[in-house]
Chain A
Amino acid sequence: MKSFFKRYCRNYGAMIGLIVLLAVVVVSFVAPMLYEESPWMMVAEPLMKPFADMAYPFGTDMLGRDITAGLLYGARVSLLVGVISTAVALVVGVLVGSVAGYCGGRIDDALMRVTEFFQTIPQLAMAVVIVAIFNPSIYSIVGAISVVSWPPVARLVRGEFLSLKQREFVQAAIVIGQRPLRIILTQILPNAMSPIIVSASFMVATAILTESALSFLGLGDRNMMSWGFMIGAARTMIREAWWMSVWPGVAILLTVLAINLIGEGLNDALNPQLRRRGE
């Protein structure tokens, strides 16, 4: 573990990413303390330019809502959706992939066909359809993103399982009669964790982008101020109030960038292990 941290820290990009992400997490916790009132409150004159009044550093929107408050609260939604939908997708993907990879044969075939079905419709289009059909809310968004995100995880896990299953220590475990579930949980899965972890980090980034796209299209949860929603609301005022669309976009950009850097850092740090395993 220690060598893992050392390798990770050597990567400047990954460190910056970590710091930025921590800042975003802190912001999302601190938001309700700094801004007690909901970001939906109309607190000031509408359409104030940024930095005109330092009480509202990033300006206000057409209803006089504080954009800074919106940015801070938006962090919560993005992180929440990103983490939870990735978690769900991981659970489903690992389940499907491990069963397929371990059992092989007809089960593997069937599961892979199912996975292919889900992969055939483009991710965003499928997410849009699901959210629109089940009426936009935080639950349908998380559900939709999970549904479109799990197939790549399943394929990855299956691939790992297929190769790991051939390894001696697994064969040994089978021979001595360990139960399949035990083998999966104690022998194979721990060794497959590295690519899963790396995958997971990129999935969080993609989930955040997808959530913001859905909110932008008007399919977001109307009770939660999210960055995508702010950009969507700003669309009709793009000439008069450019700042309404710029700041939330920068926020998304920085957060996703940070997560990507972390993912790369994880990949590099975990990679030597992969190489050692003879992949």
Chain B
Amino acid sequence: MKRITASVQSRIRGSLMSMAFVAAASLMAGTALAQTTGGTLSGIVQPEPPILVSALNSQAPTQYIAGKIYQGLLTYGPDLKPRPELAKSWQISPDGLTYTFELQQGVKWHDGKPFTSADVVFSIDKMLREVHVRTRAVINKYMASIRAVNDSTVEIKLKEPFPPFISMFETGTMPMMPKHIYDGTDYRNNPANQKPVGTGPFMLKEWKKGAYIKLAKNPNYWKKGKPYLDELVFYVIPDSASRAVAFEKGDVQVLRGGDVDNVDVKRLRALPNVEYTTKGWEMFAPMTSLLLNERKPPFNNVNVRRAVMHALNRKLIVDNIFFGMGKPAVSPFSSSTLFFDKNMPTFDFSIKKAREELKASGVDVSKYPVKILSTSYGANWDRLDEYIKQMLEQIGFKVSIESADAGTWSSRVSNWDYDMTVTYTYQYGDPALGVERLYVTRNMVKGTPFANVQGYSNPKADDLWAKGGNTMDPVERQKLYSELQQILVSEVANANLFEIEFPTLYRKNIKNLVTTAIGLNESFDNVSIEKN
């Protein structure tokens, strides 16, 4: 039963007034007006993160928890349009070179010191430029200058127009770090890494290694009246079957995608009082691809690659191997990524067509035995490797599967020492951010698996990528990217298999859990548990 007391009402009014945008979003979600305060939300974090500082570690578990401790200047709606977070408003100059952010007032770090533009400048110009594995490339390449106009205004100037820049301000990609704690220190060994200090609605209360991570409410959070929850607990449970049991029993209320096996999701969805959604992944939009090493035969031949695409039934993969949790890929862009174009040439599943393509290629694939480099992502992925092997053998390939652990896999793929391997990558909203790095010639660098490791090179495509990343006009960008997708698909720059739909399972009485494009990585300041 919801009792709306006067104090709760005034608190809610207060927060509505200070956050117009967010309130609008909450109204759209439909249930915000009478949110209950108090309660503990329990979830799962797996594997146990090494640290909770998202600036230093881009792993999923770290980002999940760090998103509640640290914040970025902006966040993004499911349509990937920016929304205010630590920045209450922003302007982009028409030439796309100057970005001005107005910061929220009254924001304090967890240790009580005020958050100002000096922190923003320090975070972006000094700390992230050095330590953030994804963001530093962009900062170093595009940022000309950054300065604090006054205590609450920041101005960033770019060397050239870079439209994706506005999509980079979420808490995992550009977290704001406290200057007074990190400036001048060895960032990676700063003791604050074990006792994180951020601006977010929750603070680290207790971390019992191997058991749980507890976050407690930040009493001085800058959005008055929030967060609604008192405490967040993330349990470390190494076994997926135990995680399913914990959720069933009610010991855990939220399951993130990947926490339990897909086969359990079906069962858990059917429980009473359980909600299910695949939303909240619009920004990351994970895309599974079969990487074919295009530097050597047989995959250096485009007909052979087309044959592979025809031989794999993407619908069957999604339905039978991943229990329906996905969407067959149409292009290298996920359907939620900006400028996705669904009108692409398709490779329908047909062994006949596959064989025809092989004939057209003139390559005798049985002369080139290939190995699938397999790593331990989980049982479903093992099955996928086995399926790929079966289907390719049907059209004449000689395929074997090679197991490798995470370290070996990473090192071999980074150094192009593989024939085929399955992997998935995040897209980060704007194609120039997450997708481009996988297809441009200049990113054929060794040393990381998240680059153009398959060796695809097409000068026309490179040209389109460059223009697309430079043009401010969205209509023009769409044209460029559509043409680009046509090329990438017809040349099978990558054997894109399917977009992963990660399911989020949660108890019905939890409100506002997934409201933005980063879903569960959000700060949770708007989440409440209804008592009924």
Contacts and interface: CB of A to CB of B under 8 A. Distances in A.
Direct interface between A and B, CB < 8 A: yes
A52 to B, nearest CB: 18
Nearest to B372: A222
Contact of B376 (A46, A135, A218): A218
B389 A40 contact: yes
Contact of B401 (A38, A64, A222): A222
B321 interface: yes
A240 B321 contact: no
Contacts of B263: 62, 236-237, 240
A30 interface: no
B261 A236 contact: yes
A63 B386 contact: yes
Contacts of B458: none
A223 interface: yes
A241 to B, nearest CB: 9
Interface centre among B241, B386, B389 (most CB of A within 10 A): B386
Contact of B403 (A42, A64, A222, A240): A222
Contacts of A237: 263
Contacts of B142: none
A65 to B, nearest CB: 8
A137 B404 CA distance: 10
A182 B385 CA distance: 54
Interface centre among A218, A223, A233, A240 (most CB of B within 10 A): A223
Interface centre among A42, A46, A236 (most CB of B within 10 A): A236
A46 B386 CA distance: 15
Interface residues of B, number: 23
Interface in A224-268: 233, 235-238, 240
B155 to A, nearest CB: 53
A23 interface: no
Contacts of B374: 222
Contact of B321 (A38, A63, A218): A63
Interface string B378-418: 01001101110110000000001111110010000000000
B240 interface: yes
B387 A222 contact: no
A62 B389 contact: no
A236 B405 contact: no
Contact of A223 (B320, B387, B400): B400
A200 to B, nearest CB: 30
Nearest to B378: A236
Contacts, number: 50
A136 interface: yes
Nearest to A61: B383
A41 interface: yes
Contacts of A219: 403
Interface string A39-73: 01110001000000000000000111000000000
A233 B387 contact: no
A63 to B, nearest CB: 6
Interface residues of A, number: 22
A132 interface: yes
Contact of B408 (A63, A135, A238): A135
Given A46-B320, A135-B402, A62 B383 contact: yes
Nearest to A229: B382
Contacts of B261: 236
Nearest to B385: A222
A41 B405 contact: no
A137 B400 CA distance: 11
B401 to A, nearest CB: 4
A40 B390 contact: yes
Contacts of B240: 236
B402 A233 contact: no
A42 B405 CA distance: 26
A42 B387 contact: yes
Interface in B352-393: 374, 376, 379, 382-383, 385-387, 389-390
Interface in A154-171: none
Given A222-B402, A223-B401, A236-B241, A40 B386 contact: yes
Contacts of B376: 218
Contacts of A63: 320-321, 383, 386-387
B108 to A, nearest CB: 46
A76 to B, nearest CB: 17
A223 B401 CA distance: 6
A42 B263 CA distance: 19
Contacts of A41: 390
Contacts of A135: 402-404, 408
A40 B376 CA distance: 19
Contacts of A137: 402-403
Interface of B: 240-241, 261, 263, 320-321, 374, 376, 379, 382-383, 385-387, 389-390, 400-405, 408
- The 5 nearest A-B residue pairs measured at CB: A222-B401, A136-B403, A236-B261, A223-B400, A236-B379
11 contacts: A40-B389, A46-B320, A62-B320, A62-B383, A63-B321, A135-B404, A137-B403, A218-B376, A222-B403, A233-B379, A236-B379
Given A38-B390, A233-B383, A238-B241, 19 more contacts: A40-B389, A62-B263, A62-B320, A62-B383, A63-B386, A132-B405, A135-B403, A218-B376, A222-B385, A222-B401, A222-B402, A222-B403, A223-B400, A223-B401, A233-B379, A233-B382, A236-B241, A236-B261, A237-B263
